[in-house]
Amino acid sequence: MTVSAEYVLWGSAGHAKVLEELISAHGGRVIALFDNLEVPSALIGVPVYYGRAGFEGWAAQQRHIDRLSAAVAIGGHRGRDRIEIHALFRRHGLGLPPLIHPDASFSRTASIGAGSQVLAHALVAAEVRIGEACIINHKASVDHESTLGNGVHVAPGAILCGCVSVGDNVLIGAGAVVLPRITVGANAVVGAGAVVTRNVAAGSTVAGNPARPALNRQ
């Protein structure tokens, strides 16, 4: 995988630190951060700009913005936010290459969409299909022939067994297990440590072992 020498991130918190290390491992560097909140920079020596206005002002000063790449450092159930920020980056010509940590295992037959991230010690197996703006977090496992929509976050240590189908903007919580051939509908949340033995309805939250509906999010 190749990233540009210079990168910008949206989000100035812990996930920005994780992505900076990943980008550095591939020989790149982060030159700017953006955040909706007036928080300090997560990275020493890297300036942070606030909100859409801060981004637009920064972008207007870039002579060769099309030579830069970008990533979204926002995790959790905020898949829609990641996708919206992707659209903003695209409109300004920033590249959105996927980021795959050198210590991850990524099958040669798997595919990954723009701006998605596979972090250290994660496993992506044969013929997995990952959409855009997804996060496969540390030590997460996505087994063979599973399909993830856009904006999905598979949290640390979560396991998707073979042939799992995950809709857009889903959060699979830390340590959760989704059994083979299960479908998780769009905008659903699977709680941390849950064991999913049957399909999960769109917009719902499930938790426990076996996982049961906990809260309707629609």
Query: pLDDT tens digit string along 56-100?
Result: 999 999 999 999 999 999 998 999 999 999 999 999 999 999 999
pLDDT in tens, 9-51: 999 999 999 999 999 998 999 999 999 999 999 999 999 999 9
**Could you tell me how many helices (H) and strands (E) the chain has, helices first?**
3, 23
Catalytic residue of the set 15, 86, 144, 153: 144
Residue 109: phi and psi, rounded to 5, are -100, 0
Residue 144 designated active-site: yes
Query: Which residues make beta-bridge pairs with 70?
Result: 8
* Domains of the chain, first to last: 6-91 (3.40.50.20), 99-213 (2.160.10.10)
Average pLDDT over every residue of 121-147? 98
Q: Which two tokens stand for residue 215?
A: 């809260």
59 membership: H or E segment, kind and range: helix 51-60
pLDDT for 162 equals 93
Q: Are the C-beta atoms of 188 and 211 separated by less than 8 Å?
A: no
Which among 190, 94, 193, 205 is positioned nearest to 148, based on CA atoms? 190
- The CA angle 208-214-218, to the nearest 5 degrees, is 140
pLDDT in tens, 150-176: 999 999 999 999 999 999 999 999 999
